[in-house]
Amino acid sequence: MREMVLAVARQGVFTPLWSARILEEWRRAAVKLGPEGVAQAEAEIALLRAAWPQDRLGPPPKHMLSGVPAHVDGRMLKISAAAGGHVINRDRMWHYTEGVKNWDPIWPAHGIRILPGPSPLWFDATGRRLPPPCLPGFDTLATLREILATGQEYSWFILTQKVIKKEFALSGSEQNPDFTSKRWREVLRGRVLTGRNAPAPVEAFKTQGEDFITAPDLGQLVAGMNRLAGNSLLDPARLHAQIAARDAQVDNPFTKDAQLMAIHAARNYRGDRLIRTARPHKFLDPQNGPLIAVRLHILTRKTLGGLQTDLDSRMIGADGAPLPGLFAAGEVAGFGGGGYHGYNALEGTFLGGCLFSGRNAGRSHHVA
């Protein structure tokens, strides 16, 4: 967005002026975790909690990780509202359910979202396997509801080394140096030809991330999970029964286990079979180990609501009329209009609404 705005400025339409405050924000975004940043993150999380959709999701979690830098604080919503803009659908929030604490944080409470393939087994904090459609990467908001209904704010993945190697990706450009460098040979080498290891950033999380536990058998794994959670909610026998029931379906080509059916469907596509979806295997067979558990936190990312606009991205005021000379595009405008996605959203479609609403603003004949 900044590049687009600056390109317009270069056409002589306006002269950009950077306030001391925004420059300071950028500086701070580059600085590692510090007490000032922690206070700022807490203030942002307090704002989120105030607008939490209690009617649809129950009470807000007490503890969340932050999926955006400290300077992404929603302040422009308040400033635009003070200038007469109308903010709508604030309660349409988008939080991820697969957040892990960054062992090497860049901003306060820095959480990373795991972009999982379809194979990890997903359990709530009490050790109950989540029902469909709450499968990895399937339905974020349904899974959020399911997790919070337990009264706990975290859940668990259980998987094997074979699954983490092929299926774990981490969200954020700094976690994907091979993709961002566009060196496709490196991508293939890192994800296909690394023996038993996952790509280096994923292995670093596995060994250094506080939410990851590795163990040679389920008994030791569950003991580690209870230790990490600081309770004894997980019963090894109950977990064993559920994983064994799933494993028993691996050899059944007509299985009705929804997760295994999804894995077979994914592997029908060559790209997924090659670098995204592990061949189905038995988790309790030590040959496929070690076993890995990951504690998953709720990770805040964005609101799907925002500044109301018309189709030309002109900001709408409280009286329903466009405000002359004020435009809003991108995430601050709910990706367009103030809530382009409705209550739900299709993963990864956010940039499209940002570009579309920016393009409409740029093309509008209302721009002087």
Ligand X SMILES: Cc1cc2nc3c(=O)[nH]c(=O)nc-3n(C[C@H](O)[C@H](O)[C@H](O)COP(=O)(O)OP(=O)(O)OC[C@H]3O[C@@H](n4cnc5c(N)ncnc54)[C@H](O)[C@@H]3O)c2cc1C
- CA 288: distance to chain centroid? 28
Does 294 interact with ligand X (rule: CB under 6 A)? no
Q: How many CB atoms lie within 10 A of CB 168?
A: 24
Beta-bridge partners for 158: 121, 293
Instruction: Please give, one letter per residue, the 3-state secondary structure of 52-103.
Output: CCHHHHCCCCCCCEECCCCCCCCHHHHHHHHCCECEECCCCEEEEEEEEECC
According to the binding rule CB under 6 A, does residue 345 interact with ligand X? Answer: no
- The nearest distance, CB 248 to ligand X, in angstroms, is 36
Nearer to ligand X, 14 or 254 (CB): 14
- How far apart, in Å, do the first and last CA atoms of the chain sit? 20
Q: Report the alpha-carbon distance of residue 253 to residue 10 in Å, rounded.
A: 61
Q: Work out whether 68 is an interface residue with ligand X (CB under 6 A).
A: yes
From the number of C-beta atoms within 10 Å of its C-beta (0-12, 13-18, 19+), residue 367 rates as: middle
Q: Which of 58, 105, 172, 224 binds ligand X (CB under 6 A)?
A: 172
Nearest distance in Å: CB 96, ligand X: 10
**Which one of residues 35, 195, 253, 348 is an interface residue with ligand X (CB under 6 A)?**
348
CA distance 6 to 83: 23
Tell which one of 331, 337, 341, 345 touches ligand X (CB under 6 A). Answer: 331
Residue 22 found at the interface with ligand X (CB under 6 A): yes
Strands 291-303 and 93-101, by their bridges, are antiparallel
Q: Does 351 bind ligand X (CB under 6 A)?
A: yes
**Which stretch in 41-49, 103-111, 290-298, 349-357 sits in contact with ligand X by CB under 6 A?**
349-357
Closest CB to ligand X: residue number: 330
Which residue in the set 349, 359, 363, 366 belongs to the binding site for ligand X (CB under 6 A)?
Answer: 349
Shortest gap between Cβ of 323 and ligand X (angstroms)? 18
Please tell me the distance from the alpha carbon of residue 173 to that of residue 63, in angstroms, as a whole number. 25
- Give the residue with the Cβ less far from ligand X, 260 or 299: 299
- Map the footprint of ligand X across residues 246-275, applying CB under 6 A: none
Residues binding ligand X (CB under 6 A):
1-2, 22, 67-68, 171-172, 302, 330-332, 348-351, 354
